[in-house]
Amino acid sequence: SQQCHILGIETSCDDTGVAIVNSDGKILGESLFSQQELHLEFGGIIPPLARDMHEQNMEQATYIALEKSGLSLDEVDAIAVTNRPGLSLSLLVGLKHAKQLALKGHKPLIPIHHMEAHAFTIRMVEKVDFPFLVLLISGGHSLLAVAQDVGRFKLLGSTLDDAPGEAFDKIARRLKLRNLRRFDGMSGGAALESAAAEGDPLAFPIAEPLLQNRDCNFSFAGVKNSSRLFIMKEEEKFGVNGDEVLPNLSDMCASVQFAITKHLCRRVLRAFAYVESTGLVDNDRKRFVVSGGVACNTFIGRALRVLGTHNGYSVSIPPRHLCTDNGVMIAWNGIEKWKVNQEIHQVDSLELIDIN
Ligand code: KG4
Ligand code: ZN
């Protein structure tokens, strides 16, 4: 089939990402403006602030991505943009910009579901046919689903409270990891993983959530609360206060990471049993994909690979820079939709296609 080029725009959370990808999965140009530093400062995302930052960076992000690709807007076949789910103030910035580009360049617009984009990124770099089981773990989401086709998913479970990345971020903050220079510029999850490297995962017995539930849902609030209690007790024991961190920081981090990993593995094991018994996957070609920011975690990745392989699955995790939010995954999802002629909208006003 004919080569096509799609420009993708991502603004659902705190990253302003733009990329141009072609139908072979080649990244022609990309740019990413992260707000992580700002939000780490405030201990979370403040939506109006996130919106303002997106607005500041949006045009430049597109300019840089196009510049790097060597293409003009005219040579792009369509504009793909995240329109759900996410922070509405943030989504609207990308969507408005996408509509303006579409109008200006007379290009069709392809609305993208952020989680579908996370799930399909692997298909840009590896041959992973439908159907496949997918675990998406990030700062905002936690879900297990079967990807059946472009635009077609069967949701098996999601989180009842926090997302795993959120738990990592909050616990990292409670542990004051930000105060250590060696974690400069890292997300809470990445800092916690790094601190956990030398620790004993069995040092603190953080209870595994939902052990009695026979479904594929997640819960991370318990891990967060249980960790907080252990941290308080240890801080008291060692007389840690102010900006100081625990002397046994690595043991605490290793235990938190272990508790989260165990929970993820147990839920995935339930999903394996479910999809195999219901015929949702092809039992001769079982495929398991893990993506989202938390999939960057090497400990979690290794555990899930072992679990999958042991149960007869070929396990795929995209390279790190494709796991986290970016414009590339949106552009690639646009390509996937383009190839099957799905959701290609002609734009003749700024009103068409809203967030939902
Ligand atoms: O997918 P993502 O970039 O944004 C969304 O939330 O959609 O994921 C960001 C999340 C953050 O919560 C961050 O702490 C977490 O991914 N994360 C990690 C690691 N690297 C990033 N969590 C655990 N271990 C890591 N190495
Ligand atoms: Zn994401």
One-letter amino acid at 184 equals D
The mean pLDDT value for 295-313 works out to: 98
What confidence score (pLDDT) does residue 352 get? 58
CA–CA gap between residue 330 and residue 18 (Å, rounded): 8
* Separation CA 177–CA 190 (nearest Å): 10
Task: Spell out the alpha helix ranges (H) of the chain.
Answer: 36-42, 47-69, 88-105, 114-120, 122-125, 164-174, 188-196, 221-238, 249-278, 298-310, 320-323, 327-339
Does residue 335 come out as left (phi exceeding 0), alpha (psi in the -120 to 50 range) or beta? alpha
Torsion over CA: 16, 22, 25, 29 (sign): negative
To test the pocket of ligand 1, the residue of 294, 323, 326 to mutate (highest count of ligand atoms within 8 Å of its CB) is 294
- Contact status, residue 297 vs residue 265, Cβ threshold 8 Å: no
Ligand closest to Cα of 32 equals 1
Q: What is the mean pLDDT of the chain?
A: 94
ipTM: 0.98
| Of 281, 290, 336, nearest in space to 312 by CA | 281
| All domains of the chain in start order, with CATH | 5-121+325-339 (3.30.420.40), 124-317 (3.30.420.40)
- The answer to whether the beta carbons of residues 166 and 139 sit under 8 Å apart is yes
Atom of ligand 1 nearest to the CA of 12: 7
Given a contact cutoff of 8 angstroms between Cβ atoms, the answer to whether 80 and 333 are in contact is yes
* pLDDT tens per residue across span 246-302: 999 999 999 999 999 999 999 999 999 999 999 999 999 999 999 999 999 999 999
| Residue to substitute in 32, 168, 304 for testing ligand 1 pocket (most ligand atoms within 8 angstroms of CB) | 168
Residue-wise pLDDT tens digits, 92-143 = 999 999 999 999 999 999 999 999 999 999 999 999 999 999 999 999 889 9
Q: Which two tokens stand for residue 169?
A: 């971020």
Number of neighbours of residue 349 by Cβ within 10 angstroms: 7
- What's the CA-to-centroid distance between 184 and ligand 1, angstroms? 15
Residue 163 clears pLDDT 70, i.e. is over it: yes
What are the CA-CA distances from residue 171 to residues 196, 198, 325, 336 (Å)?
12, 18, 21, 37
Q: Which residue has the higher pLDDT, 211 or 32?
A: 32
- What predicted TM-score, i.e. pTM, was given to this entire model? 0.94
Q: Is the pLDDT score of 228 beyond 60?
A: yes
Residues with CB under 6 A from ligand 1: 13, 138-140, 165, 168-169, 187-190, 193, 292-294, 296-297, 324-325
